Amino acid sequence: MWRFIGLNVLLWFVMTAILLVLPDQLERWIDLSVARAIAWAVAGAVWVVAIERQWQARMGALARFPLQVLLWTSSALVAMWISDQFRL
């Protein structure tokens, strides 16, 4: 159980890093909102590949969905906040 929690924490930081770095790199060529959407897709794919099976083994879809949305949304909001702090 602790390994699962630790892996989730690690992947939350990885997602946040992707959502922080990738849009800034892509902004040279495309609008920031589009770059953030692309970063969201990449970060979501990393999540699915790395840990989705373990989530499926531990809980059903009705419990899994709101928890994952909470984790993903918090990661995106933190990344956007950090990014906006450096843009000021």
pLDDT digits (tens, 9 = 90+) for 19-57: 999 988 998 999 988 998 999 999 999 988 998 899 999
Statement: residue 59 has pLDDT above 70: yes
At 11, the pLDDT band (50, 70, 90 cuts) reads very high
Statement: residue 1 has pLDDT above 90: no
Distances from the Cα of 4 to the Cα of 1, 8, 9, 50, 58, angstroms:
5, 6, 9, 11, 10
Q: What is the reported pTM? A: 0.84
In this structure, is the dihedral angle defined by the CA atoms of residues 62, 68, 71 and 77, taken in order, positive or negative? negative
43 phi, psi to nearest 5 deg: -65, -40
